[in-house]
Amino acid sequence: MTATTVHNQDIKRGTPVHTNRSSRMDRNRGRAIMVSAMLIMLMLTVAITFTILSLNPRQEEEVGGDHTAVFGIPLATSEFNILKGYSNTQLQWNATLRQWRAHRAVSIQADAGTHVLATYDGTIASVLTTVYGQQVTIEHGNGLRTVLKSLENVRVEQGDRVSKGEQIGTVGTTSRLDFTTTPHVRVEVYRNNNRIDPASLIDFGDK
The domain that holds 125 is classified in CATH as 2.70.70.10
Residues in the chain: 207
State how far the Cα of 202 lies from the Cα of 149, in Å rounded to an integer: 16
Maximum mean pLDDT: which of 8-12, 16-20, 61-65, 199-203: 199-203
- In this prediction, residue 206 carries a pLDDT of 72
- For residue 4, pLDDT over 90 is answered with no
- Give the residue from 151, 148, 139 showing the smallest Cα distance to 114: 151
Poorest-confidence range of 15-24, 31-40, 106-115, 154-163? Answer: 15-24
Are residues 95 and 186 both part of a single domain? yes
Maximum mean pLDDT: which of 62-71, 103-112, 114-123: 114-123
In this prediction, residue 165 has a pLDDT band, given cuts at 50, 70 and 90, of very high
State how far the Cα of 23 lies from the Cα of 29, in Å rounded to an integer: 10
Are residues 140 and 193 both part of a single domain? yes
In this prediction, residue 49 has a pLDDT band, given cuts at 50, 70 and 90, of low
- In this prediction, residue 20 carries a pLDDT of 61
Residue 50 lies in a domain: yes
> pLDDT higher for 74 or 51?
74
- In this prediction, residue 167 carries a pLDDT of 97
Do 134 and 194 touch, CB atoms closer than 8 A? no
Instruction: List the beta bridge partners of residue 169.
Output: 116
- For residue 68, pLDDT over 60 is answered with no
Per-state percent for the chain, helix, strand, coil, to nearest 5:
30, 35, 35
Burial 154-181 (b: 16+ CB within 10 A, else e): bebeeebebeeebebbbbbebbebbbee
Domain count, the chain: 2
- For residue 125, pLDDT over 70 is answered with yes
- In this prediction, residue 139 carries a pLDDT of 97
Are residues 113 and 162 both part of a single domain? yes
Residue 76 lies in a domain: no
Residue 71 lies in a domain: no
Residue 73 lies in a domain: no
Are residues 28 and 100 both part of a single domain? no
- In this prediction, residue 145 carries a pLDDT of 96
Are residues 133 and 183 both part of a single domain? yes
Are residues 109 and 13 both part of a single domain? no
Residue 20 lies in a domain: yes
Distance of alpha carbon 61 from its chain centroid, rounded? 4
Residue 49: domain span:
3-55
- In this prediction, residue 120 carries a pLDDT of 96
Are residues 112 and 48 both part of a single domain? no
Question: Which H helix or E strand runs over 14?
Answer: none
- In this prediction, residue 31 carries a pLDDT of 74
Are residues 115 and 196 both part of a single domain? yes
